[in-house]
Amino acid sequence: MPLVSRPRAAVAALLVAAAAGAVVLYGANHAGRTAQDPPAVGQDGKDVEWVPTAEALIETMLDMAALGPDDVLMDLGSGDGRLVIEAARRGARAIGVEYDARLVALSRERAADAGLSGQVTFLQADLFQIDLTEATVITLFLLPDLNLRLRPTLLDLAPGTRIVSNTWDMGDWTADETIQLDPCPGFCTALLWVVPARIAGAWTTEDGEDTFRFDQQFQVATGTLRRQNGNPLTLDDVALTGDVLTFRAGDALYRGVADGDTITGTATTGGRQAVWTVTRAGR
């Protein structure tokens, strides 16, 4: 799955060697290699060089994503298929996207050896050209600049989609959770994001009595409530996780699920619960 940039290749090769308990020289992975040679750690790739994710981190990444049988996982830059195969062992439908035909062939062989060919798909494709919309979980081990190129596409996925990256972040889109394995030879940080619903703007109740206005920076949101002929009230404890929005307005606790131009849920005050629905203003 994972990949490492060419400037880091020498370091990557040494880290892989340490993880395997053997000495691997970077130059040996490249000298005299041709397109017909078997794939090797540190080999040139389309955008980056290939270095596998540590098995322990694969388990951590899938745990963070809470991967289950109802999920569709897509691993971008799937390498030798190890993460995809482990996802299939957990019952998920798993898809690997890999540009290198040799790695795709190796992945299919490994899946067959594991008896999981029917639960996995390996696509030889450019990860920037593939349709990601069916995925509920995205995994990747790319580089910061590649993550940033992907970020707009990832943010357009369905709210609640989980994204887990080995080592590299998404710029100012802060991870919802970060786990660092220790001890570890290197490349052993897992970062999780949950794609947030887009709630920025004004939302009104059906009777027009209440208008909620939200500002949003990725999954971080703030807001106000204005009742007819009243002053704005700042919302407290605003939390947005995927499509689930919660906040407090005075003594009331609101919880709703965002679905396009509607948020539907409940408002609870003093133990009494009422249905709460708002629609995006102007819709």
Residue 10 has pLDDT above 80, yes or no: no
Residue 9 has pLDDT above 80, yes or no: no
Average pLDDT over every residue of 193-202? 99
Side chain identity, residue 215: D
* Domain end (from 194, 224, 240): 194
Clarify whether residues 102 and 57 are in a common domain.
yes
At 249, which CATH number? Answer: 2.40.128.20
How many domains does the chain contain in total? 2
Clarify whether residues 90 and 215 are in a common domain.
no
Q: Buried b / exposed e across 182-196, counting CB within 10 Å, b at 16+?
A: eeeeebbbbbbbbbb
Clarify whether residues 133 and 261 are in a common domain.
no
Query: What tens digit of pLDDT does each residue of 96-111 get?
Result: 999 999 999 999 999 9
* Domain end (from 164, 194, 224): 194
Residue 24 has pLDDT above 70, yes or no: no
E strand map for 150-243: 162-166, 177-180, 189-194, 201-205, 210-217, 220-227, 233-234, 236-241
Clarify whether residues 135 and 242 are in a common domain.
no
What does the alpha-carbon distance between residue 186 and residue 8 come to, in Å, rounded to a whole number?
Answer: 12
pLDDT at 37: 60
Instruction: Supply the angle between the helices 101-113 and 82-89 in degrees, to the nearest 10.
Output: 30
Structural domain harbouring 273: 201-280
Cβ atoms within 10 Å, residue 169: 16
Clarify whether residues 144 and 205 are in a common domain.
no
Residue 152 has pLDDT above 80, yes or no: yes
Clarify whether residues 149 and 270 are in a common domain.
no
* Domain end (from 140, 171, 194): 194
Band of pLDDT at residue 183, cut at 50, 70 and 90: confident
Residue 89 has pLDDT above 50, yes or no: yes
- Range scoring the smallest mean pLDDT among 58-67, 71-80, 179-188: 179-188
Residue 18 has pLDDT above 60, yes or no: no
At 81, which CATH number? Answer: 3.40.50.150
